[in-house]
Amino acid sequence: MLLEDFNGAPGDEAAAVVTVWADVPAWADALVAARPYASVDALVDRAAAEASSWGGPELDTALAQHPRIGDTPSGETAEASASRREQASMAHADADVTTRIAEGNAAYEARFGRVFLIRAAGRSPEEMLAELDRRLGNDDAAEAREACAQLAEIALLRIRATFAGDDAATAPSAPAHRAPAPTPKRA
């Protein structure tokens, strides 16, 4: 997709693109309303700023679109396709790591009541397992902050992936943007 096409798309079409990045309705509305963007960097900066206030409600809504680490997302939706790309390293995980991630996922869900979320892109299965084990020791507030930060990282990477072929809108040496840790809202 070209940034120019995103900027000029009807609101509902642009919102459909944004919800693939993260299904957070108020965030999607804000990004769509702020168009046009001069560059992908400008869009990423705005997306990061808007994501900085994410908390529990936004996390819960967005997690409906995220499969467990180690589960192969099914379907032909853009969300499923993005998750398959992001979790590609799991296809090379050995049986022990896969089993331990499945067990960790179950423990995490029992502890926190939601799916374990991590930016899988660029991480090995062993790294994801180590993070899962570490984060099981978090208290609820710390884990909500980490999960929101991971959701923001996923969203920002998905934005860049959407416009990766748009040479006019992306700088060849644009640094990866790391989202600030969101401040969780009280439920």
Model pLDDT for residues 4-51, shown as the tens digit of each residue: 999 999 999 999 999 999 999 999 999 999 999 999 999 999 999 999
Question: Locate tokens 């084990």: which residue?
Answer: 133
What is the reported pLDDT for 165? 81
The structure's pTM equals: 0.81
What is the reported pLDDT for 176? 41
**Residue 129 pLDDT > 70, yes or no?**
yes
**Residue 70 pLDDT > 90, yes or no?**
no
3.30.60.50, 1.10.3330.10, 3.40.640.10, 3.40.50.1380: CATH of 3-162: 1.10.3330.10
- Distance (Å, whole) CA 151 – CA 83: 12
Domain ranges in the chain?
3-162
Helix, strand or coil for residue 63?
Answer: helix
Check the CA dihedral 20-23-24-28 and report its sign.
Answer: positive
Measured CA to CA in angstroms, residue 16 lies from 5, 31, 103, 141 at distances of: 13, 12, 34, 30
**Amino acid symbol at 113:** G
Q: Could you tell me if 182 and 81 are in contact, meaning their C-beta atoms sit under 8 angstroms apart?
A: no
Is residue 120 very low, low, confident or very high in pLDDT (cuts 50, 70, 90)?
A: confident
- Distance (Å, whole) CA 84 – CA 28: 22
Pick from 8-12, 124-128, 176-180: least confident: 176-180
Model pLDDT for residues 54-69, shown as the tens digit of each residue: 999 999 999 887 778 7
Is residue 181 very low, low, confident or very high in pLDDT (cuts 50, 70, 90)?
A: very low
What is the reported pLDDT for 141? 96
**Residue 80 pLDDT > 70, yes or no?**
no
**Residue 52 pLDDT > 60, yes or no?**
yes
Question: Who has greater pLDDT, 70 or 8?
Answer: 8
